[in-house]
Amino acid sequence: MEHLRARRGTEEGALAWRFLPADGGWRRGEAQMQAGLAELVGAAAQGFKSYVDAEDPDVLVLTETKVNNAPADPALADRYPHRYWSIADKKTYSGTAILSKVEPLSVDYTLPGHPDPSSVKGRIVTLEFASYYLVGTYVVNAGTGLKTLDAKKEWNTHFEAYIRALDAKKPVIWTGDLNVAPTALDLTNPKPNWNKTPGYTEAETSSFARILNASGEEPDAPKFVDVWRKTHPALKHYTYFSYRFSCREKGIGWRLDMFVLSERLVERVKMCEIRSDIYGASDHCPVVMEVESPL
């Protein structure tokens, strides 16, 4: 669940946006934290709609929605007049959506250059606003036994080119379930999982690192920033906990949901936090980010 909220009336007409990623079922979104944490926890316990009411985000990014048709929910329609659902051809599979109070300039559901457009359906929505692109993704999982790692590599190849092409036009906010733990800090048990478990292989972490381009090894490529990691350089907090083996209770998790921003946007980030106290109909936690920027 990703949320984007804009607070109007701030100095010089700036907007404070809050995002919140969480994954699994369409009852996930991004939200702004207007209420106190205790109120949000209580709202979440009452269900998705109560939680969204408490957060009141301007934009929700939903991943792994698994819907076969765009839901006709009057409450959501009233709150979010602009709703964009990317639905997979396969029934009850994947799915990504962005719900917005603000109308974008354009909407795209494709990953340019990908040789199998049908496999992209349900995995990406890009909204263009006046001063930035918002890309919501439910990135391909490398699969049990890494059986779909080749499909993940294919996705990564084309997504790397895509996000760089967008950045050449205007800054990018990329969010959602990215299905990669970028470093050993981003999962509880890195050593036994390395190159054995989807989300933590050389191919996947290297692709993510190339997008960040933090060292500037590719001088002609833009730089992107993993915002939560930048603001929490040494912490080991997670966004995904398997339902199996009581992983959440034991604190055994992975950080798979994040915000990646064009480097030139980072100075506008006011906060980025994992809402680990929020429980709901998902094995992922919300992540909230607030960005001050003209919409």
Cβ atoms of residues 44 and 64 within 8 Å: no
Cβ atoms of residues 79 and 100 within 8 Å: no
Cβ atoms of residues 178 and 24 within 8 Å: no
- Give the C-alpha separation, 67 to 280, whole Å: 18
| Size (the chain), residues | 295
- Give the C-alpha separation, 103 to 95, whole Å: 21
The set of catalytic residues is: 138, 177
